[in-house]
Structures are given as C-alpha cells and as structure tokens.
C-alpha cells in the first residue's frame, strides 16, 4: 500500500481528511439540532398533555360538587318553603311583606335561620356560603365580602359591585332564567395584572383560564347552584309563564348554594393534584435531563473534533512544509517525478 503512495499523494490526502472531518462535524451538529427540536416539542406536548389531564380531573370535581351544591340548595329551599307555609297560614300577609321589601320581616328571619352557617363541605368562608334571591333582587346575603347598606339589592345594581362585571351580568341573567348551565362569577379581583377575563359562565371558558394561569387563575371563581321555590311557579302558585309564553312577575324564591372550586380542591383533593404534578415533573425532568446530556455530549464531541483538526493542521505544516518526519522520502518522490 505504502509502495504505491507517494509523498505528494499522501500530502494531498490531508485537505480531504480535514474536509471530511468538518463535514462530519456539521452533520453531527445538524442532527443534534433536529434531535433537540424534537425533545423541546416532546417537552411541550408532555406539559400540554398533563395540563389537559389535570384539567379533566378539576372539571370532574367541579361537576360533582355542583350537583352536591344543588342538592344542598334544594334541601334549604324545601325547608324554607315548609317554614314559610307554617308561619304564614294567610299567604296574603307574606305577599304584602315581600312586596314591601321589609328587611325585618319574618320571612327574612326564615331565610336567615336556614342559610346561616351553611358552608359547602364545611369550608367556612364567604366563597362557600349560601344566599337567597328572587328574580328581581338578592333578598339575603350574609357574606362579609358583600355588605350593601340595605337589603334587598336589585340584580341590576348587584352586578356593578363585581370585579368581573360582564361575567356577573351573564350569570345573573341565567339564574333569573332558570338555566341549567353550571353558573359561576368572579366577585373579587385577581392579583394577576394579565388575568384572563371569562365573559360567560361556560366550562370551556374556564378551561381557557386554567390553561393560561393554572390553579391560581381559579382562585376567585365562585360557582352557584340554585334551587327554585317552586319549579314552575312561585310559592303562591303563580306560574312562571303566561299562556303566551311570556315571563310573569311573581315571587319566585331562589336559594343558591355557592362554593369556591379552588378552596374545594385545596381542602379535599390536594393529594390528587400533587400526584398529577409529580408525574408531570418526573417526565419533564427525564426529557430535560436527556436534553442536557445530549448538549454536553455534542459540546464535548465538537471540542474533541476541533482539537483533532487543529492537531492535523499543525502536523500538516510541520511535516509537509518544514523539515520533519514523513513516512515517504520527499527527495525520492521528487526525483521520481522527473
């Protein structure tokens, strides 16, 4: 092999060798960039996947609690209906008192006796209590957060007190209309200056809020499960609709059990949420570690290759352009060419 290889041909191999090494280095870096991009994509997809899974769990809790809150509201509504009939054998007395809106009337005391201290799942704060309303006004709300100068408070004034006014107005309209949607509003302001404002009580809107801000975004979201006295009319038997299908102005009492989803999750499901976070973090760390190791690997291999290139270039200068060791006799090669 060496007998057929001349000094000049051996020297000419060096540029080819260096070019091959540089091309190999470029291909290696290109492959690394493609692999790194894929790892970043996998990381984003895994975060999205676990966010979706966690949201499905949160939504299931919200739906389950909403049904339970509705059952609580129904029990309170039944008790109020029963006690009002006992205290007012002459229903016209109750009609006159309700028409006058007297906050010291006996029917207000009936409301108070039935909703005072009634906190959903025992979480004792204003986000998880109950209130009583009708289609026109909030008749009794004992929340410390909600302290108007006088009760009742017209719904038309009530929504103005809210941080998220548009959401409050839409929710109030659905409460009055006896809608079957999951109803919620956002009375208190968010600490996030870039907070996403949900505009209607829609579970998909709530999902968008969660995806943007996580659990912190749900902190001030209060759900409201209403129960109506009675289903198709008011306590005096006046129907909700006339023969033409128009709403009738009646004394339809609405008992609403509220709950704060964030409070309920933290109180009863914090361990479940922690498990979701642990699995997501573990997978996230696995991919992140892979990315780190591959980055270190490509940096080291690139450094080594560059060192080899430099050494070869120095070797080339020393051997072929100055006096030094060479496996071929330069003079013999030159004489052969002559």
Reported as a single tens digit per residue, the pLDDT across 132-148 is 999 889 999 888 766 55
Together in a domain, 86 and 113 = yes
Is residue 336 assigned to a domain? no
pLDDT at 4: 54
* Structure tokens given for 120: 């959903």
pLDDT digits (tens, 9 = 90+) for 72-86: 999 999 999 999 999
Give the domain range for residue 290: 269-323
Together in a domain, 277 and 141 = no
Residues of the chain with pLDDT > 70, as a percent, come to 84
Is residue 184 assigned to a domain? yes
Is residue 24 assigned to a domain? no
Together in a domain, 209 and 278 = no
More confident residue, 87 or 312: 87
pTM: 0.75
Q: Of 267, 284, 306, which one is at a domain's C-terminal end?
A: 267
pLDDT at 145: 67
pLDDT digits (tens, 9 = 90+) for 274-315: 888 887 777 777 777 777 777 787 777 777 777 777 776 666
Together in a domain, 130 and 189 = yes
Is residue 10 assigned to a domain? no
The count of domains in the chain is: 2
Is residue 182 assigned to a domain? yes
pLDDT at 103: 77
Together in a domain, 172 and 275 = no
Q: Is the pLDDT of residue 325 over 90?
A: no
Q: Of 267, 284, 305, which one is at a domain's C-terminal end?
A: 267
Together in a domain, 279 and 217 = no
Long-range pairs of 176-179 with CB within 8 A, sequence gap ≥ 24: 176/135, 178/226, 178/228, 178/240
CB atoms within 10 A of CB 117: 10
Together in a domain, 118 and 156 = yes
Report the Cα–Cα distance between both ends of the chain, in Å, rounded.
22
Together in a domain, 254 and 282 = no
* Structure tokens given for 309: 């290139």
Together in a domain, 306 and 205 = no
pLDDT at 324: 46
Together in a domain, 251 and 296 = no
Together in a domain, 191 and 151 = yes
pLDDT at 13: 66
Is residue 52 assigned to a domain? no
Is residue 203 assigned to a domain? yes
pLDDT at 205: 94
Alpha carbon dihedral 158, 163, 165, 167, in 10-degree steps, equals -110
Compute the distance between CA of residue 108 and CA of residue 102 in angstroms, rounded to an integer: 8
Is residue 46 assigned to a domain? no
Contact between 273 and 264 under an 8 Å Cβ cutoff? The reply is no
Compute the distance between CA of residue 231 and CA of residue 72 in angstroms, rounded to an integer: 16
Together in a domain, 180 and 311 = no
The whole-number average pLDDT for the span 173-182 is 91
């Amino acid at each position: 092999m060496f007998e057929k290889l001349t000094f000049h041909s051996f020297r000419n191999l060096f540029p080819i060798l260096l070019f091959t090494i540089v091309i190999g280095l470029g291909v290696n870096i290109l492959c690394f960039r493609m692999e790194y991009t894929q790892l970043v994509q996998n990381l984003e997809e895994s975060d999205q996947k676990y966010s979706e899974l966690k949201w499905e769990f949160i939504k299931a809790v919200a739906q389950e609690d909403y049904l339970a809150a509705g059952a609580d509201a129904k029990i309170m509504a039944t008790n109020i209906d029963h006690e009002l009939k006992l205290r007012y054998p002459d229903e016209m007395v109750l009609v006159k008192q309700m028409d006058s809106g007297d906050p010291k009337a006996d029917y207000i005391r009936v409301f108070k006796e039935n909703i005072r201290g009634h906190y959903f799942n025992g979480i004792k704060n204003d986000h998880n209590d109950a209130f009583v309303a009708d289609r026109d006004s909030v008749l009794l709300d004992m929340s410390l957060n909600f302290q108007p100068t006088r009760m009742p408070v017209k719904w038309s004034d009530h929504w103005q007190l809210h941080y998220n006014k548009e959401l409050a107005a839409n929710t109030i309209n659905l409460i009055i209309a006896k809608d079957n949607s999951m109803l919620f509003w956002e009375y208190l302001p968010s600490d996030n200056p870039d907070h996403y404002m949900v505009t209607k009580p829609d579970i998909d809107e709530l999902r968008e809020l969660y995806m943007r801000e996580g659990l912190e975004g749900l902190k001030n979201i209060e759900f409201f499960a209403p129960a109506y006295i009675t289903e198709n009319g008011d306590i005096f038997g006046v129907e909700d609709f006339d023969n033409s299908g128009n709403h009738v102005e009646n004394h339809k009492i609405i008992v609403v059990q509220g709950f704060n989803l964030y409070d309920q999750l933290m109180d009863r499901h914090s361990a479940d949420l922690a498990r979701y976070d642990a699995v997501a973090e573990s997978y996230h760390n696995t991919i992140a570690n892979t990315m780190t190791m591959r980055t270190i690997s490509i940096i080291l291999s690139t450094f080594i290759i560059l060192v080899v290139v430099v050494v070869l270039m120095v070797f080339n200068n020393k051997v072929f352009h100055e006096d030094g060791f060479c496996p071929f006799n330069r003079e013999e090669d030159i004489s052969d060419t002559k």
